[in-house]
Amino acid sequence: MGGGSGDAMEVAALARDARGRGRGGSPPGGLREKSPPERKVYMDYNATTPLEPEVIRVMTEAMREAWGNPSSPYPAGQKAKDIITASREAVARMLGGKPQDIVFTSGGTESNNLVIHSAVKHFQETQGPKGDLGEQQSPGEGARPHIVTCTVEHDSIRLPLEHLVEEQVAEVTFVPVSKVSGQAEVDDILAAVRPTTCLVTIMLANNETGVVMPVSEISQRVKALNQRRASLRLPRVLVHTDAAQVLGKRRVDVDDLGVDFLTIVGHKFYGPRIGALYVRGLGKLTPLYPMLFGGGQERNFRPGTENTPMIAGLGKAAELVTENCEAYEAHMRDVRDYLEERLEAEFGRKRIHLNSCFPGAERLSNTCNFSIRGPQLQGCLVLAQCQTLLASVGASCHSDHGDRPSPVLLSCGVPFDVARNALRLSVGRSTTRADVDLAVQDLKQAVARLEGQT
């Protein structure tokens, strides 16, 4: 779910530069500010975020003082164990959950794969050759677990599911999102459920459009459905949401959401590149089957000697979200709304198409997906001409099909010629209105250069 460490260092440097400009101060250490042509404006916070200074501090302290093995009885080991316990409590607090329901992982990709693996494994163990599928279904021995998801999920959901289908291990329904709301509609998700369904996995918000999905309503409907399924001796449907894009941008509460699993990704909320998985009533109410086997850490659900400094950083990042989430959200919304105002003012309302504004659908406070209409203005080409703005397009840019539109935007009903011009700008905690002005001016110059080539 993240890039390399070099990317993180560059982003951190850019964020420090942005914070310095926001305060009107000089960079630390007496270094001269870069000349304006070299200044960069980072607006790709949905891809990754820099570490908060407080996060760096606790990670550094843990490296220096808590180097011991958390399973060891001597002081350095016990200090490491205490840090891990405190971080687990901080992550749980951020979600309104219980510490014992948090499992630390290497990141969002592992958390998502662990959920899918567990749902399939649980179905196989409880509904296998000697299982309980009734005669109205296919025989227990031939029954494959079925999973429901939607067409705009992250690759760490989509690709494992496609792999299970290819291996004939499971069946999957990819429910299209609504072209009106950009959301996976509750009725469509429920209509896809079969007698063999074991998991519904729907992201909490989309990484490209920022559209927030109706996960709470889906959970409520599935819970009611499970009561009826129990009387028919059908397997329980578990509900998972990948909350990678939401944490740190709006308040998340697992009881409000009603989910069984929730994926946590540190580097999306100014933490390190590890993650965690929330599992409601871990091992009691909700099954979790390990993919790894080893020394018994994380109560055997995710063995391997704990990465204490990274876990310390995740805990501090979670603590900052718990304390400041509303302020973060309000600031990012103000800057994002100003960005959209400036785009429409500079290019004209008819020329700017906001790809992520859907009637009746909520959107993340920091995300602006838009297209500048014009035959030569494919997103990749525009970004390549930008000298200040660092952002991304809706889909990966490949040399052999650089103007291929984002499948997510096409799924949401954005027209082909508009979707291929898409740019995703996502602002962060330190992004300023002055940054917006620089970025919009850079885009205007990039467009002028491209149109001068025709």
C-alpha span between 441 and 191 (Å, rounded)? 47
If DSSP codes are grouped into helix, strand and coil, which group holds residue 235? coil
pLDDT digits (tens, 9 = 90+) for 92-128: 999 999 999 999 999 999 999 999 999 999 999 998 6
C-alpha span between 15 and 52 (Å, rounded)? 9
C-alpha span between 392 and 368 (Å, rounded)? 11
Question: pLDDT band at residue 394, thresholds of 50, 70 and 90?
Answer: low
C-alpha span between 214 and 206 (Å, rounded)? 12
Catalytic residue among 380, 386, 397, 412: 397
Q: Which positions ≥6 away from 312 have C-beta within 8 Å? A: 58, 59, 61, 62, 66, 83, 84, 87
**How confident is the model at residue 140, as a pLDDT?**
53
pLDDT average, residue stretch 214-224: 98
Q: Give buried/exposed letters for 413-438 (b at 16+ CB in 10 A, else e).
A: bbeeebbbbbbbbbbbbbbbeebbeb
- Percent of the chain scoring above 90 in pLDDT: 83
Q: Pick from 139, 157, 141: which is nearest to 149 by CA?
A: 157
pLDDT average, residue stretch 336-357: 97
Q: Which positions ≥6 away from 332 have C-beta within 8 Å? A: 249, 365, 366, 427, 428, 429, 431
Its pTM stands at 0.90
pLDDT at 184 over 60: yes
pLDDT at 336 over 80: yes
C-alpha span between 165 and 421 (Å, rounded)? 33
Sign of the Cα torsion 340, 182, 3, 96 reads: positive
Reply yes or no on whether 198 is catalytic: no
Q: Look-up: residue for tokens 């072209």?
A: 179
pLDDT digits (tens, 9 = 90+) for 270-298: 999 999 999 999 989 999 999 999 999 98
pLDDT at 79 over 70: yes
Instruction: Give the CB-side neighbour count of residue 352, counting CA atoms within 13 A.
Output: 22
**How confident is the model at residue 127, as a pLDDT?**
86
pLDDT at 21 over 80: no
C-alpha span between 454 and 451 (Å, rounded)? 6
Does residue 82 contact residue 68 with C-beta atoms inside 8 Å?
no
**How confident is the model at residue 300, as a pLDDT?**
85
pLDDT at 303 over 70: yes
pLDDT average, residue stretch 187-205: 98
Within its chain, how far is the Cα of 125 from the centroid?
30
Which residue spans within 221-340 are E strands per DSSP? 238-242, 261-265, 275-279
Q: Pick from 84, 129, 76: which is nearest to 102 by CA?
A: 84
Query: Distances from the Cα of 305 to the Cαs of 85, 302, 366, in angstroms?
Result: 14, 10, 36
pLDDT at 172 over 80: yes
Q: What is the mean pLDDT of the chain?
A: 90
Question: pLDDT band at residue 38, thresholds of 50, 70 and 90?
Answer: confident
Where is pLDDT greater, at 9 or 192? 192
Which residue spans within 317-419 are E strands per DSSP? 352-354, 367-372, 389-390
pLDDT at 402 over 80: no
C-alpha span between 436 and 427 (Å, rounded)? 9
Q: Look-up: residue for tokens 């409880």?
A: 126
